[in-house]
């Protein structure tokens, strides 16, 4: 008998390298308790959408400018998620802060990957290259990535997994960003997705 799998939606805004890591992990059986059923982007030009289509995953584009305010934008996302019976939401480079109304609607069912060891270099305004620029400016010897639950505080939810990555003397923000993705983000995001999917279907 085919066991039930958690239905996963991935929210993206850009190139979708973390989405690709999730698709690859699903193909390899790292993610086996859940299945990516939907990719939602708030940017119609996101390359992530092409990655999803190539993997035969349903896509939806919901842009903020199509709506009068944040609430109607979020309501449209909620409608899409509920229509597709989504159990788990993975934020993979989704460049839009979600309100408390949204996060409490899916309590403990939204996860995000952040490119530092929280509580360092996180919170409002810390995303993308800025995280790595600040880490290098501070002179830290170790950085990494964190997967955490999403609540109304940016990067404020409970930590699920962390993985450390060494900082090299000749690192630039770009080289550090690439290494953190390859050695940490692309490993712990799929592992955490599997862990939470498994918990959701065992409830």
Instruction: List the catalytic residues.
Output: 114
CA distance 177 to 114: 11
Positive/negative CA dihedral, 79, 85, 88, 92: negative
Q: Minimal CA–CA distance to 185: which of 203, 156, 163?
A: 163
What contacts 86, CB < 8 A, 6 or more positions away?
Answer: 7, 8, 9, 37, 38
CA distance 1 to 23: 24
* Token couple for 187: 């490993």
Give, for 53, the enclosing helix (H) or strand (E).
helix 47-54
CA distance 157 to 141: 25
3-state secondary structure of 31: coil
CA distance 1 to 74: 37
Residue 61 gets the label, from left (phi > 0), alpha (psi -120 to 50) or beta, of: beta
């Amino acid at each position: 008998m085919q066991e039930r799998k958690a239905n996963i939606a991935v929210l993206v805004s850009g190139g979708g390298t973390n989405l690709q890591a999730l698709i690859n992990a699903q193909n390899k059986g790292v993610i086996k308790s859940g299945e990516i059923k939907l990719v939602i982007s708030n940017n119609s030009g996101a390359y992530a959408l092409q990655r999803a289509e190539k993997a035969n995953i349903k896509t939806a584009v919901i842009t903020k400018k199509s709506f009068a305010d944040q609430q109607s934008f979020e309501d449209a996302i909620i409608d899409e998620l509920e229509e597709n019976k989504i159990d788990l939401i993975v934020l993979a480079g989704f460049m839009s802060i979600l309100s408390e109304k949204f996060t409490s609607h899916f309590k403990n069912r939204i996860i995000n990957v952040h490119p530092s060891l929280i509580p360092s270099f996180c919170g409002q305004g810390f995303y993308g290259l800025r995280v790595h620029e600040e880490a290098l400016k501070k002179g830290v010897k170790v950085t990494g990535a964190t997967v955490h639950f999403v609540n109304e505080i940016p990067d404020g939810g409970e930590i699920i997994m962390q993985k450390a990555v060494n900082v090299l003397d000749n690192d630039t923000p770009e080289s550090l960003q690439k290494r953190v993705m390859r050695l940490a983000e692309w490993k712990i995001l799929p592992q955490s997705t599997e862990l939470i999917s498994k918990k959701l279907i065992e409830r």
